[in-house]
Amino acid sequence: MQIKRVLPLALAGGVVAQNQNISLVPLATALASQSDLTSLLAILGTQPTFLAQLSLAQNVTFLAPNNAAISEFLNGPNATPANETNAVGVAALLSYHVLNGTFYDSDIKENSLLVNTALNLAPYSNLTGGQRVLLNRADGNATITSGRMDLAKVVTSNVNFTGGTIHVVNKVLTVPVNDTRTMMDMNLTAAVGALRRASVANRVDTRRDVTMFVPNNDAFNRIGSMANGLSTEQLAGIMNYHVVDGQLPLYVNQLRNQSVNTLNGAQLTFTNNSGVMFVNGARIVQSNVLTNNGVMYVIDK
């Protein structure tokens, strides 16, 4: 497997969100100008192909973890490919920090902005267009939401270079993982148990471009006795009812008053009630949970 597949030079076709007189400073010089990026520079030094391609890329935003972020990451539990010692795993993690498009600090608003990254390599990304992050603003700070709903803050913004801009961030982003592992990380244990009992967990985990609505543990507890009496086939039908069929992933800004088909042939209808989203009467309590093959929503029934 070639590392060069992780960060294609097709990034040259990215969209510039806003022209702010991009600097003529090369990438390496821009990174070296920041005293808290020495750990990142050391890692990049072990990835010459990735670094060369990023240096040539145009219209990108590089989210650069600072020294404290990398130290915390290397010394703590995590669920990302950086645990792997192979070069492809490290390059995949770095690619997840490269956004397709130049997004300056002023482009990041309070309304979540879904952005494609340069990570478009299986198994880390099993969805059309590559893996995503969410850009937002909270308490005046630009933030990035990655896998497991982990949140990173921009601590230094708009370090411009010839290919776009760099934002220094205080966390290493978490590459999204498959659906059942994401559920376990979020303590949605009842849903995982139901998927496994129905023998559809692997089907969901390996499916491409998934939108899934996952009942929380309280929702399963309310139907506990009934669920225990279902056959494998009946339970599979119920779980397939929670997975959208035949569409690209539907992120929260795409959920409007519409209906979509599910894997069991039924329809899901989305409604907005005073800013609260519902799907077939179930309230969405957590949105835009990123997975390696799409997006997940937690619902209350």
Last residue of a domain, one of 148, 169, 190: 169
What pLDDT is recorded for position 84? 47
Task: Please check whether residue 262 is in contact with residue 243, taking contact to mean a CB–CB distance below 8 angstroms.
Answer: yes
What pLDDT is recorded for position 25? 92
- 90 with 49, same domain: the answer is yes
> Is position 261 within any domain?
yes
- 111 with 215, same domain: the answer is no
> Is position 174 within any domain?
no
- 209 with 139, same domain: the answer is no
- 38 with 146, same domain: the answer is yes
What pLDDT is recorded for position 229? 79
- 75 with 110, same domain: the answer is yes
What pLDDT is recorded for position 4? 41
Last residue of a domain, one of 123, 143, 169: 169
What pLDDT is recorded for position 3? 37
What domain count does the chain have?
2
d(CA 14, CA 12): 6
Tokens of 181: 């592992």
pLDDT tens for each residue of 171-228:
999 999 999 999 999 999 999 999 999 999 999 999 999 999 999 999 999 887 677 7
> Is position 94 within any domain?
yes
Tokens of 74: 């290397």
Last residue of a domain, one of 108, 141, 169: 169
Mean pLDDT per 10-residue section of the chain, whose length is 301 residues = 40 44 82 98 95 96 98 74 62 97 96 94 94 96 97 98 98 97 97 96 96 96 79 94 93 86 94 92 97 98 93
> Is position 108 within any domain?
yes
Question: What is the secondary structure of 202-252 as a DSSP string?
Answer: HHHHH-SSEEEEEE-HHHHHHTHHHHHT--HHHHHHHHHTTBB-SS----G
Task: Please check whether residue 104 is in contact with residue 17, taking contact to mean a CB–CB distance below 8 angstroms.
Answer: yes
Q: Which domain holds residue 28?
A: 3-169
Give the CATH number, domain containing residue 90.
2.30.180.10
What pLDDT is recorded for position 81? 46
d(CA 133, CA 171): 14
Task: Please check whether residue 270 is in contact with residue 258, taking contact to mean a CB–CB distance below 8 angstroms.
Answer: yes
pTM of the model: 0.88
